[in-house]
Amino acid sequence: MILGASGTALTADEIAFYRDERPWGFILFARNIADESQLRDLIVTMRDSVGRPDAPIFVDQEGGRVQRLRPPLAPNYPDAAALGALYAQNRDAGLRATWLMSRLHAFDLARYGFSADCLPVLDVPAPGAHDVIGNRAYAREPAAVTALGRAAAEGLMAGGILPVMKHVPGHGRAAADSHLSLPRVEAALADLRSRDFVPFKALRDLPMAMTAHVVYEAIDPEWPSTTSARVIGEIIRGKIGFDGLLMSDDVSMKALSGDFRVRAAAILEAGCDIVLHCNGVMQEMRAVAEATPELSGKAASRAAGVLAARRAADDMDETEARAEFQRIFETVA
């Protein structure tokens, strides 16, 4: 499992709980971030609590409205739609800016000790969909989303940060916010395959992916993909061909039902490798832990593969990268 924490420093109860349960990784949000030294100390303490200096530390640092690190810890960045608009004007400039922005994210994140960014967003929005994705998406055409998503992932990896593609097999048609309720998508399987699945299939070589809490009625009319063995087995592992580490979206989102032990068990039984719990509420984390076994078998192999996929950062000059990124936007936009 990947767990959150309640505040800017671990409590004694959290340290004891993490030491006993040994989550595979952690995820941080704005509530966990105060200043530079605090953030570094928190990440070190998290890793110390599980006795693994390589324990992955995740964050959602997309740019735009989903960006957990803000000034002065990191600049504010454009949203994905701005990158897509740039790509529509000048493909080379759009691809370069997208790569550079992810490389800059990597500079920002690596200095504090993060190892993974929940990016790229590969969802392809459809007309009438809820704006929970909206400008977080690069474009409305699968080919553009694919190209820009690849550039974003490569920029992160060039800076030593692991990417997580989301939300597989596609959140772009959802007419509801899965943080608040369970979206249902009625599109035919052929339409999903020709549009929604395309970017994920093209980037199936990436090390990690996060599921969508969405019901795809043409595939499994009962269960959202996160808890659907059919969606995970036939679509994500089958037609899309993704064999990396598959994590759930946040188990505490209201799209899922049942108590937290039931939710976590359903996620793992459906075929996810890792349960993600974000809000740091101890009672919920304990329930998730009750249903979460130690990593073993294929899930353990995939987790080891993730750690092995992380590479050393290139030798790019940060100042030059920031200047180039700014220059592209000023020149083209």
Annotation marks residue 249 as catalytic: yes
Tell me: the pLDDT tens digits for 46-85?
Answer: 999 999 999 999 999 999 999 999 999 999 999 999 999 9
Tell me: the pLDDT tens digits for 201-213?
Answer: 999 999 999 999 9
> 324: exposed, middle or buried (C-beta count within 10 Å: 0-12, 13-18, 19+)?
middle
132 pLDDT higher than 80 = no
Cis? peptide before 221, omega within 30° of 0: no
Q: For 138-153, what is the mean pLDDT?
A: 97
Output the CATH code of domain 63-260+295-332: 3.20.20.300
Annotation marks residue 92 as catalytic: no
The pLDDT, as a whole number, for residue 23 is 98
The pLDDT, as a whole number, for residue 77 is 97
Residues 61, 69: contact at Cβ < 8 Å?
Answer: yes
Choice among 20, 35, 92, 179 that is catalytic? 179
The amino acid at residue 127 is P
Q: Could you tell me the pLDDT band of residue 180, with boundaries at 50, 70 and 90?
A: low
Residues 178, 132: contact at Cβ < 8 Å?
Answer: yes
Q: Could you tell me the pLDDT band of residue 133, with boundaries at 50, 70 and 90?
A: confident
Who contacts 122 (Cβ-Cβ below 8 Å, separation ≥6)?
145, 146, 149, 165, 166, 167, 168, 170, 199, 200, 203
Q: pTM, whole model, 2 decimals?
A: 0.95
Choice among 60, 196, 220, 249 that is catalytic? 249
